[in-house]
Amino acid sequence: MKNIDKGLEANLNMRVLTIHPCLNVVVFSILMLTVSTLLGNLVGATVASSENCIYYDSSLRLISVSCRSSNLESLLNFINDPSVLKKESDGIWLLNANLQIDGDSTFFINSTDTNWLKINSADADNAYRIQVLGSLKIDSVKLSSWNTTSNSYAVTDGHTPRASITVLPTATGKTDITNSEIAYLGDGNVSRGQGLSYWAGDNSIIKNNTIHHMWYGFYSERIGNVTIEDNHVYDDMKYGIDPHTGTHDMVIRNNKVHDNGHIGIICSLDCKNITIDGNVVFNNTDAGIMLSKNVQSSIIRNNKVQDENTGVSVSDSGRNEIYLNDISDNNNGIQIKSNSSHNQIYSNYIKNSAKCGIEISHSALNNTMSSNKVLQSKSGICLFYNPSQNMMRNNTIDAASGTAIYAKDSNAEDNVFQYNQLVNVSRNPVRLINGTLKIINNTVN
C-alpha cells in the first residue's frame, strides 16, 4: 500500500505482532482489507490492493489497474464501495469513477462476470472514462454511458461531456471488442473523447458488435493492422467509422453502416493501405464512403451504397482503386474531386443518380474511369471546375434519363471520352457548356 496514514500502519503492525505466529499471514490480510476499505473513503487517499496492482485515488476518482489479469470482480473485491463501483444486480454494474488500465496489464470485461457495464455521466463533473495503456478485452457484454439522475442513457449535444473508451497513444497492447453492444458514448467537448477512439493498439480487432448513438462510432489516429468487421454501426452523431490521421493497413469489412449524422465510413488525412470491402452503407447525412486529404494506396470494393448525398467520394487523394461496388439512389454516385489524381474507378454498377453517376471536378487530374455501368442517371459522367487529363473509356452509360456526359468548364483540358457505349439515346447524349472534351470512337445505340 502507499500513502497510508503512518499511525494506522504502525497500529496494524503492533496488532499483528500480538497474534499467534501461525496466524500472522491470515490475520494481516484481513486487517489489510479492513484498513483499505476505511481509507478508501478518506478524501485524497490513495489505496492499493494487497497485491499492489489495484489503486484507487479518491481525489481524482481514479481506479488504476496494473495486474497482469483482472476484471470488475477484482475491483469490487478491493474497493468494496458502491459509490465507486456498484454491482446492481447479477451481471449489471455501475462504474462511478475513471478506470485506467496500465501498461503490461490486461483487463477483461466479458460474460464471465458482466452483462452490462454502465459508466456514470450524470453531469460535466461526473462523466467518467475508461483509458487504456495496456490491453483491454471486451466480449459478449453491453457497455454504455448512464445518467444516474435521469436513470437513462446519457445524451449530449456535443458540448456536454459523456463517458468514453480511449486507447491512449502510449498503450502497449491491443484492445479487442467482440460480440458486444457499445452505445451512448463520447462527445465533442473532451480531447480524445470521441466515444470509442484508438490512438494506439495495433493489431486490435473490433468484430461482430452493435455500435450506436455514439459521438463517433469509431475513431483512430496513427494505428495499423486493425480489423473492423461484421459490425452494425448506426445513429452516431458524427461519423460511423472514421480512421483518421496516419491510420494505415486497416481492413473495414462486412459492416452495416447507416443513419449516421455525417459520413458512414471515412478515412481522412494521410491514411494509407485502407481496405473498405463488402460493407452495406445507406442513409447517412452526407457521403456513404469517403477518402479525404491525402489518402493513398487504398481500396473501396464490393460495397453496396445507397440513399446518400454522394455514394463514394474521393477528395484530395491519389492512387486508390474503387471497383465492383453497387451504388444506387444517390444524388451523385461516385465523386472524384479536389486535386485527386491517379485513381482507378472501374467495374462499378451505378444506378439512379439524381445528378451525376460519376462526377470529376475541382481540378481532379489523371484519373481513369473504365468499364463502369451507369444507368438511369440524370447525367452519366460530369466534368466540372477544371478537371484535366482524365480518361473515361469502355463505360456503358444509359442516357434515357438525360445526357451521357456533361462538361461545363472552359478550363478543363485533355479529358478523353473513348470507346464508351451509350444506350437508350433519344437526344444529343453530350452536353458541353463552355467546355472541351476529346470524344473518340464511342458507340451510340
Q: Which 3-state string (H, E, C) describes the chain?
A: CCCCCHHHHHHHHHHHHCCCHHHHHHHHHHHHHHHHHHHCCCCCCEEECCCCCEEEECCCCEEEECCCEEEHHHHHHHHCCCCCEEEEECCEEEECCEEEECCCCEEEEECCCCCEEEEEECCCCCECEEEECCEEEEECCEEEEEECCCCECCCCCCCCCCCEEEECCCCCCCEEEECCEEECCCCCCCCCCCEEEECCCCCCEEECCEEECCCEEEEEECCECCEEECCEEECCCCCCEEEECCCEEEEEECCEEECCCCCCEEEECCCEEEEEECCEEECCCCEEEEEECCCECCEEECCEEECCCEEEEEECCECCEEECCEEECCCEEEEEECCCECCEEECCEEECCCCEEEEEECCCECCEEECCEEECCCEEEEEECCCECCEEECCEEECCCCEEEEEECCCCECCEEECCEEECCCCCCEEECCCCCEEECCEEC
pLDDT score of 47:
66
Residue with cell 465533442: 188
pLDDT score of 40:
39
CA 68 – CA 66 distance, rounded (Å) = 6
Note whether residue 30 is domain-resident: yes
Cell numbers standing for residue 296: 493513398
Boundary residue ending a domain (39, 54, 69):
39
Note whether residue 284 is domain-resident: no
Number of domains in the chain: 2
CA 366 – CA 116 distance, rounded (Å) = 52
pLDDT score of 401:
81
pLDDT score of 126:
76
Residue with cell 480487432: 205
pLDDT score of 48:
65
Note whether residue 60 is domain-resident: no
Note whether residue 381 is domain-resident: yes
pLDDT score of 274:
98
Note whether residue 117 is domain-resident: no
pLDDT score of 191:
83
Which residue ranges in the chain fall short of pLDDT 50? 1-44
Note whether residue 120 is domain-resident: no
pLDDT score of 427:
77
pLDDT score of 426:
76
pLDDT score of 123:
80
Note whether residue 341 is domain-resident: yes
pLDDT score of 42:
36
Cell numbers standing for residue 432: 458541353
pLDDT score of 150:
94
- What radius of gyration, in Å, describes the C-alpha atoms of the chain? 28
pLDDT score of 19:
30
Note whether residue 382 is domain-resident: yes
- Per the structure, the complete domain to which residue 17 belongs is given by 1-39
